[in-house]
Structure formats: structure tokens, C-alpha cells
């Protein structure tokens, strides 16, 4: 197995935008529409109030994820994605761990996320990483199929 390299990048960097567009296409295939209409501003992912990370295998960008502030001591996980060809190789877990570490280093004590019920692989991963269901929040809090999770960092 190739070693996974995680790099901090700007949310609006071309490599990040390419992966984000792939993530949105994946969500659109599962849920319809644009995939996710949550308002997101690239500035929200600038340290120390957020971060965006890209995972590389053999020099190829294959996954991403980031966090943005959700209150003074809480971070919100956004735009987690692994390219289909890299799935099952630990990329998502490596990105999640790096995102959590980044948020913790900036003083965040809790991580929250929204997920949909048509993402069973993500739900399973979050559960195995210690995330528990919490009351829905965010843009899709009242949408059918919205599931929110959180965990202490």
C-alpha cells in the first residue's frame, strides 16, 4: 500500500476545487440536484478558523476534507471525499484524523458534521471513529434523510 500524504491547501486551490467538484457530483448522484447547496465561503477554511486538507497517494490527489469554525470551541467537518479508485485504502480515515488534529491544534474541542442517509460507508466510518448522532443542525437540519454527528476531540 502506498503511503498517504496529507497537505494543507487553500479551499479555492485548483486541486481542492477539482476534488470538491467530484464530491458534489457524487452527492448529486445520490441525492439529486447540485449535491449540496450549503453556503460555503473559501475564507472559512483559512487558519486559524478552519483548514482544508488534500490526501495524495503516489503523488495523485485522491481525497479531501476540511473544517470551519462552528462557534468558539467547535469545528464543522466539510467536504470529505475520497476518489472511487482510492476507496478502501485508508484515505478517508487519514483525512479525518488530520482534520481533527488540525481543529484540535486550533483550540477546537468538538467536531460536528452533517451527512445524508444515502452515504452508508461514511456513516459507518464516522461511527467507528467515535462519532455519535446529535440533533440535526445546519443547512439541511430539516431535510428528510439528514443525519448529524458529533464527537469530542
Please name each of the domains of the chain with its CATH number. Answer: 4-108 (3.40.630.30)
Whether the predicted pLDDT of 34 surpasses 90: no
Instruction: For residue range 121-148, list pLDDT tens digits in order.
Output: 999 999 999 999 999 998 899 999 999 9
Cell of 101: 488534529
The mean predicted confidence, pLDDT, of the chain is 95
Global pTM reads 0.95
Whether the predicted pLDDT of 2 surpasses 80: no
Instruction: For residue range 47-78, list pLDDT tens digits in order.
Output: 999 999 999 999 999 999 999 999 889 999 99
> What is the DSSP secondary-structure string of the chain?
-PPEEEEEE-TTSHHHHHHHHHHHHHHHHHH-TTS------GGGGSTTSEEEEEEEETTEEEEEEEEEESSSSEEEEEEEEE-GGGTTTTHHHHHHHHHHHHHHHTT--EEEEEEETT-HHHHHHHHHTT-EEE---STTTTSTTEEEEEEE-
Amino acid at each position: 500500500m502506498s503511503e498517504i500524504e496529507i497537505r494543507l491547501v487553500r479551499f479555492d486551490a485548483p486541486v481542492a476545487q477539482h476534488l470538491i467538484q467530484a464530491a458534489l457530483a457524487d452527492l448529486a448522484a445520490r441525492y439529486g440536484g447540485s449535491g449540496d447547496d450549503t453556503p460555503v465561503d473559501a475564507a472559512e477554511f483559512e487558519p486559524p478558523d478552519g483548514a482544508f486538507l488534500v490526501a495524495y497517494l503516489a503523488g495523485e490527489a485522491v481525497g479531501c476534507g476540511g473544517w470551519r469554525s462552528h462557534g468558539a470551541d467547535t469545528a464543522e467537518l466539510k467536504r470529505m471525499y475520497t476518489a472511487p479508485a482510492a476507496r478502501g485504502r485508508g484515505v478517508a480515515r487519514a483525512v479525518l484524523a488530520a482534520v481533527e488534529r488540525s481543529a484540535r491544534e486550533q483550540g477546537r474541542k468538538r467536531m460536528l458534521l452533517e451527512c445524508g442517509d444515502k452515504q452508508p460507508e461514511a456513516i459507518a466510518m464516522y461511527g467507528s471513529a467515535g462519532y455519535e448522532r446529535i440533533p440535526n443542525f445546519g443547512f439541511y437540519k430539516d431535510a428528510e434523510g439528514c443525519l448529524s454527528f458529533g464527537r469530542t476531540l
